[in-house]
A and B are shown apart, each in its own frame.
Chain A
Amino acid sequence: MSTVLDIRNLTRVHGSGEQAVHALRGVDLAVASGELVAVMGPSGSGKSTLLTCAGGLDQPTAGEILIDGNDLTTLSRNAVAALRRRRIGYVFQDFNLIPALTAVENVALPLELDGTRARAARKYAEAALLEVAIPELADRFPDDMSGGQRQRLAIARAIVGERGLLLADEPTGALDSDTGEAVLQLLRDRCDQHGIGGVLVTHDARHAAWADRVVYLRDGVLVGQSGPLPEADILLETH
């Protein structure tokens, strides 16, 4: 299996001097294709920062982020944007859908921004909506959809096209447990069936159980990792 995401010695410092806050300190993480990695840790441990840096939404202070061998830290803004359009799918906790666009237009957005003709982009988008089981909502606006539908839509946008890396930041945070489970199933299937590498940020052990591997962050440092969480551990932790 090839490595989709290779993070090396990643450091992110907010501010400078005495006010400097180290969000990440020398984090190393590799994600292979078809693998789903969960990132856990307490609030302020740097989970989301790790994900935004990996997705090219934030610039690290030091280190390397290799996606398909391309180091994000050395690329121009436009090149990073192109990678986000083509290779990286991002799922946010609060969906981040564009309210001015319909469901199918939201999904087609990365493709159209990449120069795909509107009609072709729509076909790909409709296929993605079918995959997340909401094809009937194609022409609805996000404001007219439930939370679960919106998150499915966000996932559809994240998987449309030929994405190699799926980054999900607390994707079930705004959903009830049943809907959340369905969303995680979708992510898991995507990794298994399409060979996509996935990173799931969560603070819930039950959700982390969907992952092949769990890494733990504390104060911006990777403090450990494990294989898939056994069911008994999860039950212990949750009760």
Chain B
Amino acid sequence: MASWGPPLRIARRTIRRSLGRTLLVAALIGVPVLAASWIGLIDRAANPTGELLAKTTIGQADARLTVTPYSKSSPLPERPSLDWGEPGPAPGIEEPDRDPTKVDPLTLLPTGSKVARPLLLGNTVDVHGPETDTTVGLTIGDGQNELTAGTFKLDQGRMPAKADEVAISPSLAKYLNLLDGGELRADATLITAKDQKFTVVGVTRSLQDPNTGTMFATPDTPLTKPDPATSVQYLVDLPDSADPDALSDKLVGQGALLLPRANIVDPPPSMYSNSQDAGATAVMALVIGFGILEIVLLAGTAFAVGARRQTRELGLVTAAGGTPRDVRRVVLMQGLFAGIIGAGSGVILALVAVFAGKPLWERMLSMVFVGRQIPWPNLVAVAALGALAGLAASIVPAISAGRQTPMAALAGRFTVVAGSARLRKPAVILLVAGVASTLLGNVWMAAALETARKNAANVDYQVTITPTGPIAMVLVGITASIIALVWMLPNLVAKTAGLARILPLSGRLALRDAARHRHRTGPATAAIMMAVAATAAIVFAASNAIAAEAKDYVPAARHGDAVLRAEQSSEGLMASSPPQTQKVAGLLPVEARYDLGSVSLPGAKANGGYLPTLMAIGPPGMEGTVGYPLLVIDPEYVARFDDYGKQAAEALRAGKIVVQRPEMLASGSVKVTSDDDYDGKKSFGHAAVAIAGPPRISALQQSSLISPEAARKLGTVRVYETQFELKREPTDSELAAVAKVLGHDDLLTIEKGYRSPARLWFLGLIGAATVVTLLGVAISVSLSAAEGRADLATLAAVGAPPRRRRNLAAAQAWVLGQLGCVLGVGIGALYGYTAHAAFGSPHFMVPWQEIGGIVIVVPLFAGLLAWLLTRSRLPMVRRVD
């Protein structure tokens, strides 16, 4: 058994001596490792686990107690966890039978327990702003209690301790001009629309939504009244003697749920836990696999350069009695070292980037990073994959180096048996089988999707289906195609030599040189192919996804109208209040204003922040969607939409509800009920007409319509959106003035039809593909220069001008780039064809502009770059080495 010592030593020192090449390979490996590690770290920061998750959800508490409005509740089918909401009432209890706010939680808990109210987002509050009133979120809880520590981020001051104190979020503080040089003013006060005055004692952020305009108040705040129909949560500090699990079991019978901290730190097994989607896992595995293959091919080509430049040194190992295995070990160890350097650097840089750039990521991703939880197993796995990629990249060069005869190696010759130029039959068969499998999988998938769509024909929202079987078949097909192409590429490169005779001298030499050295131009072209394939696949998939989105796009308003949301949005933007809406109307060239709203029964109470609203429902057994919420809308708004509009407006003016489906009616009446009335006890009939074919306006398509006058007779109307018909398109200065009033520039939108959000992404992807392609081409061209020095010297000797050498390098870069791009786009198109079926695109979209850019511009650019780089006296190989 020969020793590993000398190969390790030689590899280690060679890496240092060939620092440029080592850094190139390390970068090829390190950059993807950095990206993957960054994603892993950010994901863990956004979704902490274990003790950190417990800290962010229940602070320092031993458990979280939920007291429901039912005196007895049904037992949970499994141990409680964060996935569980609150238990339902016990059999026999249908209505809330107690006010949970009146239940003293300590009576439910062992003696010595302590409780505090967690910080929970409740209602919204209108507050006076510098321009006009604005609506902000209200979070209530015992922020001063040590049990809540860790569930929010206090930036300045303290949390409120009294009912007339509040803390506010940084965005609200900024909007209200309460900061002086970034510091909260000592006399900072906040006045609500009802003229209630509060002292602002701190600036704090919610962990989940730090950028929202939010105020934090104590549980006894006058800003809101407790809702007796809503459960109340407490954070609980239990005495040491208490058994949280036993207590949890006991409390279920008393209409309360105790979630022990241990169940958050280490969640119990659940039958409802999210199982990994097989299709998604397969796609992820394929993406990672292709990424590694791409790294291996690119780095492998760089290693091939190194192995050739090391030929003599490796020959010396042989001359000293080393076996081919010893030589292979030297090259393999270099690969492993480069992989370790690249992967290690990638992980370290990701750690530095995430933790040093924490404020930037928090701002960009709208989250607060709590603690420094590092997913070490994931990072180690990513780093190990990177290091193994380095090892894998050196395998082929190592085998080639091991095959050198001592004499050839000592003379500095690197002889390679290129083999036949004929295409290998197994590779051709594999390619045909791969393409066939992909196409058949697509046909199968299209059929499955079509069947699913037919089944859901009455459902007027988009159906998302993931047919795992066909996707697996497609992925296997694409994988087989790629393997076959990589296998046959050296022979394909050789085949291109047949075109040489029709080309000018530089092109002729380039093609023949590429064919002659197909053992290295093959892998380089494969690397380019993989780089381009990944980009082309994304471009195809994005194009088809956008086409599908455009097909399904339903405008929010008539083309050219302005839409102003009047509610707290899910994106965490500050909402617009009625005074703000009025002010916005004055700033825009408004022709007409229309309010869109919902209607609730008199006395309806909000449950968990949601106010139940009325909807029209069809008879039992009606297929498809049964309930359509009542949209309170001015008949004049509807009248603008052709025949449908005229009929609907007439019906609305007559006080009738307008429904879309005739089967919802019975004797000219439709059943109306509250959307929390599950058993229909509160339902009643209302005069209605059915008018089919509402215009493609999102609010009209998903609702039944009712006029404001008719709605007010049923209950309370709440406006949630205002649309403005405009005389002309607003100017930039008008929009800027509106943004100033609203505090954000995206609360008001002008309906202009579907607009693709992906243009910048496309440009970025094309840029990335160009960089990777050029890298592959540069490595290959440098290798060609290293091996072709003798040929170039001969050319120079017979009088060829220096320009000829540049032309030769440019032509070879173009040949390899062109072949790799064409094949890469072919693979990408296979992906894209699959994507078009999976995304439900109306037809297969070919993004000609982007694909044209890849196929034509990228190889030409590569050729130009090679031409420029070969201009100086220094051969390109020196740049790489």
Residues of A bordering B, CB below 8 Å: 52, 55-59, 77-78, 81-86, 88, 90, 92, 96-101, 105, 109-110, 112-116, 118, 157
Chain A residues near B313: list those with CB within 8 A: 98-100
Q: Return the contact of A81 from the options B5, B316, B318 (Cβ within 8 A).
A: B318
Complex formed: what's the CA distance from A208 to B826 in Å?
68
Chain B residues near A81: list those with CB within 8 A: 318, 321-323
Query: On chain B, which size bracket covers the interface?
Result: 20 to 34
Chain B residues near A52: list those with CB within 8 A: 406-407
B324 interface contact, C-beta 8 A: yes
Complex formed: what's the CA distance from A118 to B14 in Å?
19
Q: Which of B267-319 contact A (CB under 8 A)?
A: 313, 316-319
B6 interface contact, C-beta 8 A: yes
B667 interface contact, C-beta 8 A: no
Contact A82 B407 (CB under 8 A): no
Contact A115 B321 (CB under 8 A): no
Chain A residue nearest to B314 in the complex (CB): A98
Complex formed: what's the CA distance from A77 to B6 in Å?
19
B1 interface contact, C-beta 8 A: yes
Contact B324 A77 (CB under 8 A): yes
| Residue of B14, B321, B322 contacting most chain A CB atoms (<10 Å) | B321
A171 CB → nearest B CB, Å: 14
Complex formed: what's the CA distance from A59 to B5 in Å?
29
Contact A78 B13 (CB under 8 A): no
Chain B residue nearest to A79 in the complex (CB): B323
Contact B2 A113 (CB under 8 A): yes
B62 interface contact, C-beta 8 A: no
Q: Return the contact of A118 from the options B5, B13, B405 (Cβ within 8 A).
A: B5
Chain A residues near B318: list those with CB within 8 A: 81
Given A57-B410, A58-B407, answer yes or no on A100-B3 (Cβ-Cβ < 8 Å): no
Contact A82 B321 (CB under 8 A): yes
Contact B13 A100 (CB under 8 A): yes
Q: Which A-B residue pairs are the 5 nearest by beta carbons?
A: A85-B321, A100-B13, A84-B321, A57-B406, A81-B323
Please list 15 pairs of residues, one from A and one from B, whose beta carbons are closer than 8 Å in the complex, sorted by A's number. Answer: A56-B406, A57-B407, A78-B323, A81-B318, A81-B323, A84-B319, A96-B319, A97-B316, A98-B313, A98-B316, A99-B313, A101-B10, A105-B6, A113-B3, A114-B3
Chain B residues near A112: list those with CB within 8 A: 3, 5-6
Complex formed: what's the CA distance from A118 to B390 in Å?
27
Complex formed: what's the CA distance from A218 to B9 in Å?
43
B320 interface contact, C-beta 8 A: yes
Contact A105 B321 (CB under 8 A): no
Main secondary structure of the interface of B (DSSP, over half): helix
Complex formed: what's the CA distance from A82 to B320 in Å?
10
B17 interface contact, C-beta 8 A: yes
Chain A residues near B410: list those with CB within 8 A: 57, 92, 96
A4 CB → nearest B CB, Å: 17
Given A98-B10, A100-B17, answer yes or no on A114-B319 (Cβ-Cβ < 8 Å): no
Complex formed: what's the CA distance from A81 to B13 in Å?
24
Q: Return the contact of A96 from the options B3, B316, B407 (Cβ within 8 A).
A: B316
Complex formed: what's the CA distance from A105 to B316 in Å?
13
Residues of B bordering A, CB below 8 Å: 1-3, 5-6, 9-10, 13-14, 17, 313, 316-326, 405-407, 410
B743 CB → nearest A CB, Å: 65
Chain B residues near A116: list those with CB within 8 A: 3
A47 CB → nearest B CB, Å: 15
Contact A100 B9 (CB under 8 A): yes
Chain A residues near B5: list those with CB within 8 A: 112, 118
Chain B residues near A88: list those with CB within 8 A: 321
Extra 8 A-B pairs, beta carbons < 8 Å, given A81-B321, A105-B6, A113-B322: A58-B406, A78-B325, A81-B323, A84-B320, A99-B17, A101-B13, A113-B3, A113-B323
Chain B residue nearest to A107 in the complex (CB): B320
Complex formed: what's the CA distance from A157 to B316 in Å?
12
Contact B6 A101 (CB under 8 A): yes
Chain A residue nearest to B402 in the complex (CB): A77
Contact B13 A77 (CB under 8 A): no
Contact B6 A90 (CB under 8 A): no
Contact A157 B3 (CB under 8 A): no
B490 CB → nearest A CB, Å: 26
Chain B residue nearest to A59 in the complex (CB): B405
| Residue of A56, A82, A84 contacting most chain B CB atoms (<10 Å) | A84
Given A96-B410, A99-B17, A100-B10, answer yes or no on A77-B323 (Cβ-Cβ < 8 Å): yes
Chain B residues near A100: list those with CB within 8 A: 9-10, 13-14, 17, 313
Contact A113 B9 (CB under 8 A): no
A1 CB → nearest B CB, Å: 25
Chain B residue nearest to A106 in the complex (CB): B320
Complex formed: what's the CA distance from A83 to B319 in Å?
11
Chain B residues near A86: list those with CB within 8 A: 321
Contact B2 A98 (CB under 8 A): no
Complex formed: what's the CA distance from A157 to B322 in Å?
13
Complex formed: what's the CA distance from A113 to B406 in Å?
16
Chain A residues near B407: list those with CB within 8 A: 52, 57-58
Chain A residues near B325: list those with CB within 8 A: 78
Chain B residues near A59: list those with CB within 8 A: 405
Contact B1 A85 (CB under 8 A): no
Complex formed: what's the CA distance from A109 to B3 in Å?
10
Complex formed: what's the CA distance from A157 to B319 in Å?
11
Complex formed: what's the CA distance from A129 to B97 in Å?
98
Contact B6 A109 (CB under 8 A): yes
Chain B residue nearest to A77 in the complex (CB): B324
Chain A residues near B323: list those with CB within 8 A: 77-78, 81-82, 113
Complex formed: what's the CA distance from A113 to B4 in Å?
8
A58 CB → nearest B CB, Å: 5
Complex formed: what's the CA distance from A110 to B319 in Å?
9
Contact A98 B321 (CB under 8 A): no
Chain A residue nearest to B323 in the complex (CB): A81
Contact A85 B320 (CB under 8 A): yes
Chain A residue nearest to B312 in the complex (CB): A96
Contact B10 A114 (CB under 8 A): no
| Residue of A77, A112, A114 contacting most chain B CB atoms (<10 Å) | A112
Contact B6 A113 (CB under 8 A): yes
Chain B residues near A97: list those with CB within 8 A: 316
Complex formed: what's the CA distance from A35 to B324 in Å?
32
Complex formed: what's the CA distance from A157 to B325 in Å?
21
Complex formed: what's the CA distance from A114 to B2 in Å?
5
Chain A residue nearest to B17 in the complex (CB): A100
Contact A110 B17 (CB under 8 A): no
Chain A residues near B321: list those with CB within 8 A: 81-86, 88, 109-110, 113-114
Complex formed: what's the CA distance from A58 to B14 in Å?
27
Chain B residues near A105: list those with CB within 8 A: 6, 9
Contact A115 B319 (CB under 8 A): no
Complex formed: what's the CA distance from A114 to B1 in Å?
8
B318 CB → nearest A CB, Å: 7
Complex formed: what's the CA distance from A174 to B266 in Å?
74
Given A81-B322, A98-B317, A110-B321, answer yes or no on A115-B13 (Cβ-Cβ < 8 Å): no
B586 CB → nearest A CB, Å: 79
Contact B316 A115 (CB under 8 A): no
Contact A115 B2 (CB under 8 A): yes
Complex formed: what's the CA distance from A118 to B2 in Å?
12
Contact A113 B14 (CB under 8 A): no
Chain B residues near A78: list those with CB within 8 A: 323-325
Complex formed: what's the CA distance from A66 to B316 in Å?
23
Contact B17 A115 (CB under 8 A): no
Chain A residues near B14: list those with CB within 8 A: 100
A230 CB → nearest B CB, Å: 35
Contact A90 B319 (CB under 8 A): yes
Chain A residues near B316: list those with CB within 8 A: 96-98
B881 CB → nearest A CB, Å: 15
Chain A residue nearest to B15 in the complex (CB): A100
Contact B3 A115 (CB under 8 A): yes
Chain A residues near B324: list those with CB within 8 A: 77-78
Chain A residues near B322: list those with CB within 8 A: 81, 85, 109, 113
Complex formed: what's the CA distance from A92 to B313 in Å?
14
B140 CB → nearest A CB, Å: 69
B597 CB → nearest A CB, Å: 79
Chain B residues near A58: list those with CB within 8 A: 405-407
